[in-house]
Amino acid sequence: MAAITMEQQPAADEHIAGLRNRIDEIDAALVALWKERAAISREVGATRVAAGGTRLVLSREREILERFSAELGADGTQLALLILRAGRGPL
């Protein structure tokens, strides 16, 4: 990769700033979705318990783990575990 010249530096800095801004927007959306998903998951659990069922359905958790793993590999599995824990709390 060629070195950036002094003339190119301002354009590169501006490009990086734009990319970082987009990353910040994505992060904000992820946090909002994380919170929404956790709230919905807690409501599912509470509704299931109120109807006489169990708080957790392990087959459902397994489906989620498999989906994330298939899409993202080992990191997807770890991400899914964090997402599941956020919705149900620690076991």
Q: pLDDT per residue over 56-84, tens digit each? A: 899 999 999 999 999 999 999 999 999 99
Smallest CA-to-CA distance from 45 within 36, 53, 37 is with 53
* pLDDT, tens digit (0-9, with 9 covering 90-100), for 11-24: 899 999 999 999 99
How many contiguous H segments (helices) and E segments (strands) does the chain have? 3, 0
How far are the Cα atoms of 8, 52, 53, 64 from residue 49, in angstroms, in the given order? 61, 5, 5, 20
The pLDDT value recorded for residue 91 is 63
Whether 46 shows a pLDDT value over 80: the answer reads yes
Higher local confidence (pLDDT), 88 or 90: 88
pTM (predicted TM-score)? 0.80
Joined tokens for residue 53: 């069922």
